[in-house]
Amino acid sequence: MQRSILRQALLTALFVVMAGVLSISVIAPTTVQAQFEEPTATPTDPVWLAFSEARDAITEAEGVDLTTVLSWEFWQDDWSIPNAAHPANAAGIDSCVSTVGIAQGREVYFGWTFRLRSMRGVDYEARVSFDLNDVAICDIMSEDSAAAPAATAVDNPDLPDPVAGAAASGSFELGGHVTGLTGAAENAMSTAGMKWVKYQLPTTAGVQKGYDLINSTQARGFKVLLSIVGSKEELGADPDGYIAEYATFVRALAEAGADGLEIWNEPNIDREWPAGQINGANYTKLLAAAYNAIKGVRPATLVISAAPTPTGFFGAAGCTSAGCNDDTFLQQMAQAGAANYMDCVGMHYNEGVLPPTATSGDPRGQFPTYYLDANTNRATSAFPGKQVCYTELGYLSGEGMGTAIPSAYNWSPNDPVTVAEQASYLAGAATRLAQRGDIRLMIVWNINFTDWDPDPMGGYAIIRPDGSCPACTALGTVMGG
């Protein structure tokens, strides 16, 4: 009875403290999940302090660098019930440590359990008491927690069995998105150490256009990534019929030798997907059909899920009829079994105004899509163990464009990104992503687009209006060229 009263008092006090300092997403009555940026000032948040205790203890005990982690999760825990997985059926904070017997275990029964995923994708677990005085490093991992990471492969009876033995993976490589592989673009990409050329190919352009792009680009020594955009109108009118047509289209491109295929583009918004039908599960139906069609004829083709638009526009609910936040959409895909039907999780990052190592300081605030690592972690949290492919990554610079950056894109008016910073940030992003170990591809957005107003694609181009390409030299240096 005393333990029950104590537990209730502690939990009540915890929720009172949290309500004033932390915005959390409650998954179950006593289970919470969150990701935070490292505080720049001395932290007072009780969960952050407990996380720091857990991370430091794991670092010391396991000799692993957890300065940066792919993801971390926590939940409030009750250790008063004996742990059936413990050799001695022990209870208490040490009941997750197989080498600590009942007699040696501490009489600490309530606190937080933290699970951290290292940059190498290895999970570690630790328990921390509410008063932060006791920490246990677990070698018996929790098996049934609402905060446990999403499974990498979920069976969905509504989808076909994935083609077996067809995974395509590899080490980090660089590429660029072109409006055409001109001589200037080819020279710029070679200088930058790029191996991939990306084109966006609408199905309305026809399969023959895809054949031409594959053949001409491979003949010049590059790999080809085609981002295949279908018709949202046809998809909305007849989802099953159009999915079959789309699968036939991408199968033909795989047979022609496409090195990589991205299945659609930004399907989390109604600009690209039928309004009222936007959901990661609906997209997964198309992804599954496309994957099997491709892998059935050419297993070596890299299949990339469609990169969602990075956004929090759709609010706390995560989705409306007009679209879904990217993290919500990715979680919906994961729950629908999308991990079975991709080699790589597609992502975009194109609204950064700070160096790629920054974790705070953006003039717009702390939304995760403003920061490269936090943006990446939205994918790795949904699909642990899967590689990530950035099919668009760029920094907008208005320098040399002649007129001001269009207002909708002028994210840092008091300190706009210069061309020199664009070069430095892209080189830094390539370095950072290559170091993470979970990134397969970085496609620079873009090489040689020229449009400016209202969509400033030319400001992202690394070939600048005067013909120079400072980013080419910077990228070439980090890529070993």
DSSP secondary structure string, 291-326? Answer: HHHHHTT-TTSEEEEPPPPP--TTTTT-EETTEE-H
How much is the pLDDT for 196?
98
Strand, helix or coil at 390?
strand
182-210: average pLDDT: 98
How much is the pLDDT for 27?
31
Asked whether the predicted pLDDT for residue 198 surpasses 60, the reply is yes
Comparing 158 with 277, the larger pLDDT belongs to 277
Lowest-pLDDT range, 36-45, 150-159, 282-291, 418-427? 36-45
261-277: average pLDDT: 97
How much is the pLDDT for 144?
41
42-59: average pLDDT: 80
| Domain boundaries for CATH 3.20.20.80 within the chain | 173-478
What does the mean pLDDT of the chain come to? 87
Query: Which band of pLDDT confidence, cut at 50, 70 and 90, is reported for residue 165?
Result: low
State in words which class domain 173-478 has. alpha beta
375-397: average pLDDT: 96
**Order of strands, edge to edge, in the sheet holding 135-138?**
71-78, 110-117, 123-129, 135-138
Asked whether the predicted pLDDT for residue 330 surpasses 80, the reply is yes
Among residues of the chain, what percentage have pLDDT more than 90? 70
Query: Which band of pLDDT confidence, cut at 50, 70 and 90, is reported for residue 11?
Result: very low
221-236: average pLDDT: 98
Query: Which band of pLDDT confidence, cut at 50, 70 and 90, is reported for residue 267?
Result: very high
89-112: average pLDDT: 88
Rg (CA), the chain: 24
Asked whether the predicted pLDDT for residue 9 surpasses 90, the reply is no
How much is the pLDDT for 38?
46
How much is the pLDDT for 143?
67
95-102: average pLDDT: 87
Q: How far is CA 135 from CA 95, 125, 208, 213, 370, in A?
A: 12, 11, 62, 58, 34
Asked whether the predicted pLDDT for residue 32 surpasses 70, the reply is no
How much is the pLDDT for 71?
75
User: Long-range contacts made by residues 64-68, C-beta under 8 angstroms, separation at least 24?
Assistant: 64/118, 64/122, 64/124, 65/118, 65/119, 66/116, 66/118, 66/124, 68/119, 68/373
Contact status, residue 461 vs residue 179, Cβ threshold 8 Å? no
451-456: average pLDDT: 96
How much is the pLDDT for 316?
85
What is the C-alpha to C-alpha distance for residues 434 and 393, in angstroms, rounded to an integer? 14
How much is the pLDDT for 394?
98
What is the C-alpha to C-alpha distance for residues 109 and 338, in angstroms, rounded to an integer? 38
Reference 460, options 417, 402, 427; nearest CA is 417
Contact status, residue 27 vs residue 15, Cβ threshold 8 Å? no
How much is the pLDDT for 43?
55
How much is the pLDDT for 47?
75
Query: Which band of pLDDT confidence, cut at 50, 70 and 90, is reported for residue 44?
Result: low
Asked whether the predicted pLDDT for residue 142 surpasses 90, the reply is no
How much is the pLDDT for 14?
36
Among residues of the chain, what percentage have pLDDT more than 70? 87
